[in-house]
Structure 1
Amino acid sequence: MARVLVLGGGFGGVSAATELSRALGDDHEVILVDRSSHFVMGLRKLWALVGLGRLEDGSRDLSLLRGQGIRFEPREILSIDPAGRGVTTDRGDLAANYLVVALGAEPRPDLVPGLAEHGHNVWAAAGVPALKADLEAFDGGSIVIAIAGMPYTCPPAPFECAMLLDDFLRERGIRGRASITVTTPKPILLPNAGVAGSEWLAEQLAARGISYETGLEVKSVEEGTIDYGDDRLDFDLLIGVPPHRPPPVVAESALAGPRGWVSVDPGTFETSHAGVFAIGDVTKVSLANGLPLPKAGVMADLEGQRVAAAIAARVLGLEPPGLFDGRGFCFLEMSKSTAALIEGSFYARPEPRVVIAGESEDHAGRKHRFEQERLERWFGG
């Protein structure tokens, strides 16, 4: 009997574990380890802010995975041993024939002085209720969405947030008393979408009266003001997009590459340790133009499917699946009822090829179905 150990109960880990369980059946064991007892659909955070349902609507107890034949272990991972394909946890050691590391990236507002004290962080689900309360009490003034460091997960999300807030404030009849500004340290708004994609996004923001500033690196935040070094920007309500870092248990392991991220083969997501794979936000995959592969749930899902197929093929003695092709997509919400579709061939040379299908209600509906399909596939509903 083969045993596969999956670390992490987010998009990548749950995707890999459920695909593995289906492929391997009852003759082999799939174990998923996570310190949290619940999976949370990340897209629900912005929806909850503007009244499109609740966070809980996209949350599922990870113990439901047992119904898919997966052994769920709610444990804190203390260290990772890639050579032994195992981990030490707060409840003992676990080892396997194959190891899949899908522990994500952690938002770190503490890396920017004053950001945690004076800004809201909705890249963590725990930050949603406080911002929601402040938005409901907001009666006018300056809202700033500041990308305070790189990398961060879900690259389009700050701009989605701005457009959803625009719609939310118009519904409340106070948009005329509010300004919305997005700032980024990058020279263009959405580097993975290229210059043309970023120009398209800039036009969408401008059409809604949303301001944006590029090339502004947040140095520190104090009450009501962001310090960008040579520039300062006042705010009444700040939504900070914190820099993300790999979890310490990964950064301190033998898997860690530069800055703590896990380097993998871009076609297989296998690490330098045979039988050890890493997927999702915890990895660093460099593209032909030097940019990293986007850290996004859909990419983690697709990577999880590919890695699961590869491990199952090895266990069952089948032909290996084709290499991961770097294709991905996302639905960029532009109001509470519309979205655009962004599709990327990120492994293309000399740079990623990105196509944007414009705003429509159909794309928004597809995003809602995307959520429901995965909750059904992974948890049975």
Structure 2
Amino acid sequence: MAKYLQVSDWILSNITENNLKQGDNIPPELQLSQTLHVSRQTVRKAIEHLASKGILTTIQGSGTYVAHPPKIHTVPVSSQNIAVITTYLDSYIFPQKISAIYDALARAGFLMNLLGTNNSAETEHYVLSSLLDKDFAGIILEPSRTTLPRIQPELYRQLKETFPIVLIDCNYSDINLPRIALDDREGGYLATKHLLEHGHHDIMHIGKLDDLQGIYRYQGYLRALQEYQMIPRETNVLWYTNETSPSMFLDVQEERVLACLENHSAIFCYNDLMASALLAFLQDHGIRVPDDMSVIGYDDSPLARQGTQLTTIVHPSVEIGLKTAENLVKLIHDPTFDANYTFTPKLVERDTVKDHI
């Protein structure tokens, strides 16, 4: 639903609930703009829309008044479509999350239109650009490669003015939009603290550099080390990006990884994909987990429960999907609703961490 239609709905709700009666002066444009967090241009368009239906009338130099309260207010059928844009569609933790979004939207009477970006900022830009002239009630967006600058930041401001948008799992550093996500700083902290509590002082981290989730998890890693008065060192951290799969990264960087492993007793991985690839890498090189090396993953994906049972941070995919859809629906009906929500992470202990003596 376009932003001006949301403002129209807000005014109509106040009329139908008798907060505004026939002949009443509605709040000034500036006040509505500040209350509903939209531009004055959006408010003006909403007023013009209601005036065209004979619900409001504007008297120059006096203000805008309720002319004829509507008998019935219905949301157009065409506004029941929600665009859901994720980085990936059918692998890792994405199917559970997407299924939860679908279920929550269906219960609220909305239809999901699913699109993928393959975690490409360029594809994300193309997909979002194509939505500007479409009739969607709202957008759920999982941002791609969030440490990189957006190709055209103005596009996101246009979308924000046009549609209710809720981000899922991550945010942009320079674009303010409501977000539903796990507290990844706390998750990185919990993972590293768990290793420290098991006597590991030389903890290696394999992080993802082009993803703010990776940066937040690294910040949590640093915080835990600092609490234990450990000095973080650049040589303790290996970074990879979306350009390279975890297994390819470990193969290409084999000598560097093995050299780094010699000085560490534990590893905190960016996610379970990297942890799973690392377990295979360690096995190939005769390094036993957890006897020789402790490993913690992140996300509690199905990979964490295949073969070696991985100690990991739980990513509540279903709960995040449900909450994102529910909050978007609330935002559609009430532009003043604060759709932000942060989940508290927890660690599940399995078989890949051992006390270090």
Shared fold (TM-score greater than 0.5)?
A: no
Pair member with larger Rg: 2
**Which of the pair is proportionally richer in strand?**
1
Question: TM-score scaled to structure 1, two decimals?
Answer: 0.28
Question: TM-score scaled to structure 2, two decimals?
Answer: 0.30
